[in-house]
């Protein structure tokens, strides 16, 4: 065998070995791809409505208000291999991001999934409150403890399910109010918390400690707003998690509770978190969500303002971007599209 042939043979063997190693070598990255998109005005795979409203007159709409999702591969429990990551980097429909972007180092995959489930539940409640407030329907609010962090000042004092009614003697009716009150304290200060348990009111004096960043004073509780809705609204989306469908849930509830068709038969998709007051927030995976929407047939995509720069550069052909700042403004924009009158904010 000539020297040249021998060199080529050795090189081929090395390349083959590298290929084999690369095909099984796990890497700390996650591949994000377009996920399922579901019509909040429609039904699930079993024919059940995604949103059911009982105790209030509802109205039909033949159009679409689809929320969009992202599917991921990888994570601490099943990392992708090097070749999958490289293929994803070359694929325009896939985003390959560092593992800690999705799975913080101090949280397990199961904890992340549980957090996503909690965020979806909170998103649904916020969406219901935002929709009803948009329609002028009164919604009462209370703040409850969802979780008490181990070895923090509240551990052994407060419990999940306790209702926080005041901080330092000032009445509190929202998570935002309580967070603001806590922010006024320095680390090491004592905060006085008034809470209800089993219908009885109690008080606790808790000495604050630093949060993981070392910048904020905390007592170690996870809070959530709970809303008293005057009739029954049920949102069922299976095992999909995260907060990013809030805007689309709110729009669907408003549409179902008002005469006429909000969509006018159009295929509208979108994304965005929602606060109980109707403020729309940014989400992750905007590129993959737009692709999923367009492939499903959407022609209009409702885009949170902070996601507009990325959405603008990755917009699929045939998809019109409509900037969503608030629930009220988004409804006005859809009506302007339907009538041809009024401003329609875009992502330009």
Q: Which residues are catalytic?
A: 244, 289
The DSSP secondary structure of 287-316, one letter per residue, reads HHHHHHHHHHT-SEEEEEGGGHHHHHHHPP
Helix/strand/coil for 134: helix
Angle in degrees, 0-180, between the axes of helices 109-134 and 246-257, rounded to the nearest 10? 30
Give the dihedral sign, CA 140/146/152/157.
Answer: positive
Q: What is the DSSP letter of 266?
A: -
340 dihedral zone (left: phi>0; alpha: psi -120 to 50; beta): left
Contact 206, 193 (CB under 8 A): yes
CA atoms of 97 and 279, how far apart (whole Å): 28
CA atoms of 157 and 137, how far apart (whole Å): 36
């Amino acid at each position: 065998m000539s020297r040249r042939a021998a060199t080529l043979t050795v090189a081929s063997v090395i390349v083959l070995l590298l290929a084999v190693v690369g095909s099984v070598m796990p890497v700390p990255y996650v591949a994000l791809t377009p996920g399922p998109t579901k019509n909040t005005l429609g039904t699930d795979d079993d024919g059940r409505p995604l949103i059911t409203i009982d105790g209030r007159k509802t109205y039909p709409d033949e159009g679409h208000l689809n929320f969009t999702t992202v599917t991921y591969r990888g994570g601490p429990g099943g990392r992708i291999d090097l070749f999958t990551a490289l293929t994803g980097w070359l694929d325009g429909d896939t985003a390959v991001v560092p593992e800690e972007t999705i799975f913080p180092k101090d949280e397990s995959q199961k904890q992340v999934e549980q957090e996503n489930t909690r965020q979806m539940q909170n998103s649904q409640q916020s969406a219901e409150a935002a929709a009803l407030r948009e329609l002028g329907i009164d919604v009462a609010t209370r703040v409850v403890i969802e979780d008490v962090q181990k070895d923090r000042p509240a551990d052994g004092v407060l419990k999940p399910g306790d209702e926080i009614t005041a901080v330092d003697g000032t009445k509190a009716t929202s998570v935002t109010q309580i967070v603001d009150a806590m922010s006024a304290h320095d680390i090491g200060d004592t905060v006085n918390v008034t809470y209800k348990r089993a219908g009885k009111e109690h008080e606790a004096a808790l000495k604050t400690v630093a949060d993981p960043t070392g910048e904020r004073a905390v007592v170690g509780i996870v809070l959530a707003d709970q809303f008293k809705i005057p009739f029954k609204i049920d949102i069922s989306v299976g095992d999909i998690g995260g907060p990013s469908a809030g805007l689309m849930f709110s729009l669907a509830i408003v549409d179902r509770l008002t005469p006429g068709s909000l969509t006018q038969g159009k295929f509208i998709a979108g994304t965005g978190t929602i606060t109980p007051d109707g403020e729309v927030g940014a989400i992750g995976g905007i590129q993959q969500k737009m692709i999923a929407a367009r492939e499903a047939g959407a022609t209009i995509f409702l885009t949170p303002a902070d996601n507009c720069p990325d959405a603008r550069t990755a917009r699929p052909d045939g998809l019109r971007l409509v900037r969503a700042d608030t629930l009220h403004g988004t409804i006005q924009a859809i009506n302007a599209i339907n009538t041809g009158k009024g401003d329609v904010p875009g992502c330009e």
